[in-house]
Copies of this chain bind each other. A is one copy, B any other.
Amino acid sequence: MVQDGGTARQNILDAASSLFAERGFEGARVDEIARRAGVNKAMLYYHVGNKQALYTAVLKRNVECLEKELLDSLGSQLSLAERFRLVISTIGSFLQSFPDHPRIMLREFASGGDRMEPVVIEGFVRILAMIRSLLEEGVRSGEFRATDPLMTHISVVGASLVLNAVQPLRSRVVAIGPTFEVPGEGVDVGAFLSDFLLHGLSTSSPGEKP
């Protein structure tokens, strides 16, 4: 029997996604994924396959979604800086609608991409290439400093992922050491980050906020 809100397969992927984010690949229990999806465990193996296939399916879905949204953003006829902001905010809103994704990716980075199958890596490589060409365009036009594009990209991704993933940890930090006030719940990570990065990349005089 198909559960509320989608096909059995979708429910399974949703449940798997949140559990992989919470506990990691090893920590997530197949039984619990099935239970949370409102599905018998055997159904899960019937519809998706084993644990690894489940993991790959979750990642593939996320990457394909991000890629689609980025292609839209990059197709626009805007100035470089505007497109850059748009890309950052696209990534930002993606990470907010897929809050499991940054957490899964952080773990993946930590383990050296052990569990990432080629299908998934290929998707990431395409996304990487998009942003790389954006950075290179900026360097050619003289708007951006000539930084190592891969390092820059990784920095941006790292900052985004951690900024997004770290949200739940903040309250615990604040609880222990009230050295830091909590910024308002709805802190605009994207706006912060694109300001932060543009100031870091720009060769034009800072001080003015574009």
Chain A residues within CB distance 8 Å of chain B? 21-27, 102-104, 106-113, 116, 118, 121-122, 124-126, 128-129, 132, 145, 147-152, 154-163, 165-166, 168-170, 172-173, 176-177, 179-180, 183, 187, 189, 192-193, 195-197, 199-203, 205-207
Contact = CB atoms under 8 A, between A and B. Distances in A.
Question: Secondary structure of the A side of the interface?
Answer: helix
Counting from the closest, the 10 A-B pairs by CB-CB distance are A158-B162, A200-B200, A125-B177, A26-B27, A112-B168, A155-B159, A26-B26, A103-B110, A106-B110, A113-B169
Question: For the complex formed by this chain, how many copies does it contain in all?
Answer: 2
Contacts of A27: 24-27, 111
Contacts of A206: 145, 202-203, 205-206
Contact of A161 (B121, B156, B158): B158
A95 to B, nearest CB: 12
Max chain B C-beta neighbours (<10 A), residue from A176, A183, A200: A200
A176 B118 CA distance: 8
A104 B27 CA distance: 15
A177 B129 CA distance: 9
Nearest to A121: B176
A108 B106 CA distance: 9
Given A24-B111, A104-B110, A163 B172 contact: no
Contacts of A162: 106, 109, 154-155, 157-159, 161-162
